[in-house]
Structure 1
Amino acid sequence: MYISSHNSFRWLAARIFLIGIGPLFILFVVLCSRVVQNFLEDAATPALRYAQALVGSHEMRTTEDMRVKLSMLLPSGQWILQNEVNAITSSNIEDVEEQMRLIETVHNQNGDHTSSIYVPMWPISPNSSVWLHVYVPGAGSVFYGVSIESLLPGATFSFGLCLTLFFSLLVTSIFNSVIFSSFVHEKLAQERVLREKLEQKLIESNRLSAQTRVVAGIAHEINTPLAIMIQEAGWVKELLEDLQEQVDLLNKEPRKALCATFAEMDKSLNVMRKQGKRCADITHGLLRMSRKGAENKAEVDVNAVVQDVGHLLQPKATELGIAFKWQLNAFVPAYASSGHVQQILLNVVNNAIDAVATSESEARKVIVSTFSTKQSVLIRVTDTGAGLSLELKNRIFEPFFTTKAAGQGTGLGLSISHALARRNNGNLSVESSPGKGSSFTLTLPVAEVDFLPAM
């Protein structure tokens, strides 16, 4: 199945949502917390202003008097009294460590000798309190804590409800996104399978197209040796008839004539055998090229592959007046798909022959060479064509790019060959300059062998 643009848009929207929902959640919680803090500060501010006014009028002389006044203004809560040297004189909190923790928290925010209001950062717990710190000069400090619910009824519930609703929405959205992600994953897997099938069909189509280009030459090449064989067979028949006549006259004619006849027959039979082997080489090469199922990687004798391709394309080169030669120097096999290597060579050599055929160079030749090292096996196709400029060389492996005239090329041969080389863990590169021909090099990994000859 193919993923439509609508489904692709949904997938993109889901990813954007998942990426952005985290920061939005944190921002929402911070904003809610800040709003609740402002409300709590506003609720406690009148009591702090009154306490500061009492301190300013010098009516409060002790911290105990200030605590009594605060308890009259605010609901009863926790309190801690501290003298000038920061020693705790009294408190209704029994835990000493809790006393010190609360004092340290308020001091860290407001300082030791500053009257202020402390509101917790996350006012969500019912036991959270708002603390008033009132400094009485000459007496010490009063820390008076009022629970949030007592100071502002419903604040904790409202804040908790907002977080609960938003968290539920977050969980639901993530769950839906996960479900949708599995749907997208399935669709992408189907698209990948479809793409692989289409690529395979394109490769097969290119392979058949490349073979079709040499069918005419193959037919001509086979017909020529067959005609010679038929002619030689007729000549052998005539020789046999002469032999019969000579046997009949054996007593009258010299034995020398009979020996000459046998020599002529042997010569003709040798010609027939040679031309028959030539036909066999051509047909066997074509059969190897046309076989499917060569996708699996294995040891590949690149010398044999070059010979097969050479037998197929030799007639085309000869007809165009091009000298086509191959030099086999690879001493180790490559590890690749033999069908892919054949298809790459067929495309590259075909292009080389076409390039030489359309050039004005006097040296009209195409040479295919094989080399090997301890790491790589190389097949190089060199031609004496017109060569490529830097711009053309940079685009030569692009799909549908061709330098041939309209109707003479699809621009897919080299693109597919380059892709097939990479699929076999190799590479197809080109070296060329205008007026100096081109050289394409196919590099393949070496197959694992028991030994390597000395280099």
Structure 2
Amino acid sequence: MDRENRSKSISSPMKHELLAPGGATALADSEQARRAVQRVAGMGACAVNVSLACAFWGQWRVVPIIVSVGLVLTLFNTLAVDWLSRRLSSLGVDAVRMGANAIGVCIVGIATQWHVLLWVFVPYNMFWSFGVGRWIRLRMVLYLGVVNTVALLTGASFSIALAFSLIGAIGYVVSERRVEMLRGAMVQLENAHHEMRRMHERALKQEHLSSLGLLAAGVAHEINNPMSFVTSNVGSLLRDLKEEKALPEVMREYVDDVLPATLDGIRRVNSIVADLRRFSGGGVDRNMDYDFNAEVEMGLRLAQVQLGHVQVEKELGEVGRVVGHPRQIVQVLVNLMVNAGQATAPGGRVRITTRREGEQVLVAVRDTGAGMSEETKRRLFEPFFTTKPPGEGVGLGLSVAYGIVRAHGGHIDVESELGKGTVFTLALPRVAPVARV
């Protein structure tokens, strides 16, 4: 590949691979490959020059010209081109190189009366400078035009000039198509590489979430045991006090208000622990039938701590039962509710609504928070992108939520404006596809 195409490849997405850790090695390898091609090209040019010198051996007026021009062009192509490449653009350097080679061919051609061996250089130079782009094609046309014009004006055979020019032109077109095919293959490899990296990141996130789920399940189990004793003991105490005939007035308040309120709080803790255990527990990887609104209620209970400073409103429509992975859907809903709570100032509102449209279930999480800029919305679902302060988020929540919703055959719509809040709307099919990502 010529310098122009090498420059294009480095300015493409592959540049990031070259400049990533280990990129210096990649650049060094590229430079070594270029020098290796130069050595091979130089050996080919030397072989043609030696053959031409042997054909004219004894004609001592011609042989020194062949040898001198060959040496000058060899030094120019190996040393001067490197010097020029540090001062000119790749297009300019290749234009200078092609011009020098054209001049050399014309000088030797006039000296040898355009011997057939000399014409080998015409397609050879075109093969050595293959590439893609209209400027490269124009350079090839000018090269052929100059060489053929000088050749025909100084007595060259028209048929030989035409034959080798056709060989060069056809060979260049074939090389150009081959470069395009290789470039397409490189793009496909690059896309496959990015896809593998994305799958690897998703696997790491899933492993991280699984570890957190196991930890949450263990914590919930440890909380559940002492809470069972607390529930039983407080309930027994309340029953005994109610049955007491001569209960002092000071204890009546405990029977009527304090202990019932305490039991309500204990039941709420037990409910949250049960939700946490079900949310973090394992399960089969196949779809299952579940009550969608019940899972929304569960998500609200799990996110309640993050919503304590705002007014929570809910409007759950007649959705019915759906088929999918309830634990994953709750994970998405909890993430959206927590984000809404964190984005909303005390006294604001977070509203959760569900409804059914045909064979789709729609759930919306709306807040009256700070809203998002267009730049934030564009990058919202990128892994590790977060607007939260360090230590408060790693930017995986919405990325994972997006993957889960896509795996369920649904999509997420986002409406947001700075200072006017945000609305996340999940559209999910009532029956999720069997295959999951």
Determine which structure has greater relative contact order: mean sequence separation of CA pairs < 8 Å that are 6+ residues apart, divided by chain length. Answer: 1
Structure number, greater radius of gyration: 1
Q: Which has the higher helix share?
A: 2
TM-score, normalised by the number of residues in structure 1: 0.46
Q: Which has the higher strand share?
A: 1
